[in-house]
Each structure stands twice: as structure tokens, then as C-alpha cells.
Amino acid sequence: METQSTKTQSTTTYYDHGSTAERWERARQFFDAKDYAGAARVLARLVEEVPEQTGPRLLLARAYYHSAQLRRAEAELRLIVERDPVEHYARLMLGRTLQRQARHAEAEPHLRIASALAGDLPRQ
């Protein structure tokens, strides 16, 4: 008889199986297939292993955003922006994440900075 811990162990093994490159590819496949929760499961472990890399953390934030885990997305995006204040896509995503939480006043500065970094300044 399969116990809950056996099920959890085999599930964890599936998401954690393989090299870093293989897990990165698996996470991208989950994301591309719109299985954002599956992508997040793989990416969360990758981010733990390589916390200094922006790519996995940004994709994790996007997976959280698309699976409506907005607080988690916000936390990942804030870490990225803290480390790299000119990472315009992270700024844009942070602004949109805050908007989805009806925190429009907090979102506005991030959206303005993202726009400026992308070169989308208003013409006068």
C-alpha cells in the first residue's frame, strides 16, 4: 500500500530529478505548456541552488504570477529589483503584480521606471 509520504517522495523526486540544465529545460517546458504550478515546483528548487542567477528567479516569479500566487511573485520580483535596480522586465512585472493586488499607488513608480528603462518616455 502506498502511503502519503511515498507519494510525496516520488512526486518530489520527479520534479527534482536530473541535472540543473535538465531541470531548467523541464521548467521551461512546464511554463510553455501553461502548467505554471508545475514550473514553479521545479524552479523553486533551482532558485534555492543558484540564488544569484536572475533567469530562474524571474521565470519563477512569472510562474507564480500566472498561477495567481501574487505574494510569492512579488517577493521574487522584489529580490531581483533589489539586486539589479535596472532590470526593466522585473520592474514591469512587479508593477503588474502590485496592480493585480489592487495596490495601484505602489505599482505606479515601478511601471514608470520600467517604461523609462525600456525607452518609452513621453514626448514633450
Domain containing residue 91: CATH number:
1.25.40.10
pLDDT in tens, the chain (124 residues): 444 444 444 455 566 778 888 999 999 999 999 999 999 999 999 999 999 999 999 999 999 999 999 999 999 999 999 999 999 999 999 999 999 999 999 999 999 999 999 887 655 5
Residue 122 included in any domain: no
Residue 71 included in any domain: yes
Q: How many domains does the chain have?
A: 1
Residue 74 included in any domain: yes
DSSP one-letter string for 10-34: HHHHHHH-S-HHHHHHHHHHHHHTT
Instruction: Give the range of the structural domain holding residue 94, as residue numbers without chain letter.
Output: 4-117
Distance in angstroms (rounded) separating the CA atoms of residues 49 and 20: 9
